[in-house]
């Protein structure tokens, strides 16, 4: 019955794909009690379905296509293999793979088993992994041969499963080839059972733990499917790295909810022309990419590529109107923006067939009631984006997990996103900024508190404040303002030592790219005024200037 309710809600959104007012007014989240998306929906959809579920193309020319039917059968095999290794319902499984087919097989297999998946980017350092093991309570690891050495110094009695090779102490993923293709679940899955545990940057020194259920992400991404405009038979390419929530959004749940093909184009290093060539050759129909990618693509003569795209989408931050216009002139398509968080599915978006306002991220999507409230809870035309809990959207997380493993209920009448927007007379929302000091850099969400806590571990640092520094390509990069301890000089040698310290303790996507030795502006109560630092930094970059004692990572060839 749960699958029936899910399909009815999905098919309603298909029918009202370009009728926003009707879709928003009449959509209702399906009522679910027992539901396992992999077993109840995916396997039924995949039965006898020979269309590609995953189509992987490597820049060197190698291709892999796996049909829905093959993916269903293969995930049964993998689930049986994982079970033989001791993976049980409720166990935490760290999944750290690149864009390779075993990632999708493993995710479905873990879901069928009732295990909890802890997605992890391959960029994580040993310190990051240690944090995930301790706070995430990881019992099993699935990773590729290139990353096996990262676990050498991580003690513990956990299962190690290696994709693409063999190593002492590791079980070979390829042994799943010998497992049975008939899978029988060990019991029922409740829709509210835990499924995904994400680590995401927030207002604390360590990432927050976001817990999603078997309904909040698989079913909640019906809103994302609607925003992207996906339909059965589409070939959908989303530029995103595994381990991040956006990868689950647009490389797993939204396309497969629609019965669309997940298309992957693997490049050792991003280059625009091979990507554009592949879009044309493989007939990709829908394309979602972060602003950084769009800014690189428009450096080419896009009109020279006769793409078959019907929908183009941007995600991460608002796009410059010039970028949108260049794409419209070349392809006759308007890039549509949207908004959501790791804690939710797509909340707001410019949906297909609707007027797109320059700079706006669109209107609330079906299933989401969005309010703008100030710090006192009063509704305003410009305030923090809030989701009323009395009309709780299905795509909202279960909650944040604390260090003791408990999930605290969301407090108050609304879930506060921490993001500020303004609403116009037609209901369109425009992103303003963060209510706290979290920011985006190179399309990644960055917590200044997390970076600052690393920097002050260095003996030369008394205080540190991290803010975004405007960058023409990456939009922004993390910059640290440093107050030095007595006996340390604000010179090149100290800056080099601090860059090396940051590299040793921070993943590449979090890395400090600029350092300035300076006093920190503070409030009377002693709080650092990051808003003032950000404002001054934006003004300084606008003049192409640097601070008197400022150093950039690219100033140090020895770091290359």
Q: What is the DSSP string of 83-127?
A: HHTT--TT-EEEEE--SSHHHHHHHHHHHHHTPEEEE--TT--HH
Note the pLDDT of residue 125. 87
Note the pLDDT of residue 540. 79
Residue 322: pLDDT band (50, 70, 90) is confident
pLDDT digits (tens, 9 = 90+) for 223-269: 999 999 999 999 999 999 899 999 999 999 999 999 999 999 999 88
Note the pLDDT of residue 295. 81
Closest CA to 429 of 510, 326, 340: 340
Beta-strand relationship, 92-96 and 171-172: unpaired
Task: Compute how many other C-beta atoms are within 10 angstroms of the C-beta atom of residue 152.
Answer: 10
Q: What is the pTM of this model?
A: 0.83
Asked if 88 and 196 count as a contact pair (C-beta separation under 8 A), the reply is no
Task: Identify the H or E element spanning 256.
Answer: helix 254-258
Which residues, 6 or more positions from 114, have their beta carbon under 8 angstroms from its beta carbon? 36, 88, 89, 90, 185, 186, 187, 189, 193
Closest CA to 176 of 75, 72, 66, 78: 78
Task: Identify the H or E element spanning 451.
Answer: helix 448-455
Asked if 397 and 202 count as a contact pair (C-beta separation under 8 A), the reply is no
Looking at domain 32-50+67-215, its CATH superfamily turns out to be ANL, N-terminal domain (3.40.50.12780)
Q: How far apart are CA 243 and CA 91, in angstroms?
A: 18
Per the DSSP assignment, residues forming a β-bridge with 516 are: 481, 550
Beta-strand relationship, 159-163 and 138-144: parallel
Q: How far apart are the first and last CA of the chain?
A: 57
Closest CA to 432 of 424, 324, 294: 424
Note the pLDDT of residue 526. 55
Asked if 114 and 89 count as a contact pair (C-beta separation under 8 A), the reply is yes
Residue entry with tokens 């008197």: 548
**450-473 burial by CB neighbour count: b if 16+ within 10 A, else e?**
bbbbbbbebebbebbbbbbbbbee
Closest CA to 421 of 491, 474, 357: 357
The answer to which of 234-243, 332-341, 528-537 has the lowest mean pLDDT is 528-537
Q: How far apart are CA 240 and CA 242, in angstroms?
A: 7
Is the pLDDT at 501 greater than 60, yes or no?
A: yes
pLDDT digits (tens, 9 = 90+) for 372-391: 999 889 999 989 999 999 99
Distance of CA 492 to the CA centre of its chain: 36
Where do the structural domains in the chain lie, given as residue ranges?
32-50+67-215, 440-559
CATH class of 440-559: alpha beta
Beta-strand relationship, 235-238 and 208-213: unpaired
| Mean pLDDT across 121-146 | 93
Closest CA to 435 of 385, 400, 376: 385
Q: What are the backbone dihedrals phi and psi of residue 539, each rounded to the nearest 5 degrees, phi first?
A: -65, -40
Note the pLDDT of residue 525. 45
Strand ranges across the sheet with 461-471: 461-471, 475-484, 514-517, 550-552
Q: How far apart are CA 37 and CA 31, in angstroms?
A: 14
Q: Quick one: what percent of the chain has pLDDT higher than 90?
A: 72
| Mean pLDDT across 130-134 | 92
pLDDT digits (tens, 9 = 90+) for 9-56: 999 999 999 999 999 999 999 999 999 999 999 999 999 999 999 999
Q: How far apart are CA 18 and CA 396, in angstroms?
A: 24
């Amino acid at each position: 019955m749960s699958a029936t309710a899910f399909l009815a809600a999905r098919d309603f959104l298909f029918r009202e794909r370009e009728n926003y007012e009707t879709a928003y007014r009449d959509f209702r989240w399906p009522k679910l009690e027992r539901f396992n998306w992999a077993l109840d929906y995916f396997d039924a959809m995949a039965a006898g379905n020979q269309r590609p579920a995953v189509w992987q193309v490597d820049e060197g020319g190698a291709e892999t296509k796996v049909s829905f039917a093959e993916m269903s059968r293969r995930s049964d095999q993998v689930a049986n293999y994982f079970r033989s290794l001791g993976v049980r319902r409720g166990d935490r499984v760290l999944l750290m793979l690149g864009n390779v087919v075993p990632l999708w097989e493993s995710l479905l297999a873990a879901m069928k088993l009732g295990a909890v998946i802890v997605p992890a980017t391959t960029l994580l350092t040993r310190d990051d992994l240690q944090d995930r093991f301790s706070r995430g309570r990881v019992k099993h690891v699935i990773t590729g041969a290139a990353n096996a050495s990262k676990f050498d110094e991580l003690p513990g009695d956990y299962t190690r499963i290696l994709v693409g090779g063999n190593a002492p102490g590791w079980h070979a993923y390829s042994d799943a080839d010998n497992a049975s293709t008939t899978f029988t679940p060990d019991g029922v899955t409740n829709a509210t059972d835990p499924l995904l545990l994400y680590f995401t940057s927030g207002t604390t020194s360590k990432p927050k733990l976001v817990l999603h259920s078997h309904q909040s992400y698989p079913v909640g991404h019906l809103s994302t499917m609607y925003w992207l405009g996906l339909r059965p038979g589409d070939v959908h390419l989303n530029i995103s790295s595994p381990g991040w929530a956006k990868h689950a959004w647009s490389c797993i749940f939204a396309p497969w909810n629609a019965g669309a093909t997940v298309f992957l184009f693997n490049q050792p290093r991003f280059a625009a022309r091979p990507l554009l060539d592949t879009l044309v050759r493989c007939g990709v129909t829908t394309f979602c990419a972060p602003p950084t990618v769009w800014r690189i693509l428009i450096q080419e003569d896009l009109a020279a590529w006769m793409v078959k795209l019907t929908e183009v989408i941007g995600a991460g931050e608002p796009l410059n109107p010039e970028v949108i216009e260049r794409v419209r002139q070349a392809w006759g398509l308007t890039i549509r923006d949207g908004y959501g968080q790791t804690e939710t599915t797509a909340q707001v978006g410019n949906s297909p067939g609707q007027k797109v306002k320059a700079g706006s991220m669109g209107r609330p999507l079906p299933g989401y009631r969005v309010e703008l409230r100030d710090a006192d809870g009063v509704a305003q035309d410009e305030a923090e984006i809030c989701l009323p809990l009395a009309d709780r959207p299905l795509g909202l997380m279960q909650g944040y997990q604390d260090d003791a493993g408990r999930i605290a209920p969301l407090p108050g009448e609304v879930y506060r996103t921490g993001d500020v927007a303004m609403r116009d007379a037609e209901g369109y929302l425009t992103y303003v900024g963060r209510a706290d000091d979290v920011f985006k850099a190179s399309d990644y969400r960055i917590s200044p508190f997390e970076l600052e806590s690393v920097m002050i571990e260095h003996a030369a640092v008394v205080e540190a404040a991290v803010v975004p520094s405007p960058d023409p390509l990456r939009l922004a990069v993390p910059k640290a303002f440093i107050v030095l301890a007595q006996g340390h000089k604000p010179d090149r040698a100290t800056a080099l030592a601090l860059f090396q310290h940051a590299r040793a303790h921070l993943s590449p996507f979090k890395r400090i790219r600029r350092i300035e030795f300076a006093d920190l502006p503070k409030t009377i109560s002693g709080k650092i005024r990051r808003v003032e630092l950000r404002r001054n930094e934006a003004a300084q970059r606008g003049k192409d200037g640097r601070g008197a004692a400022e150093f950039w990572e690219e100033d140090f060839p020895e770091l290359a």
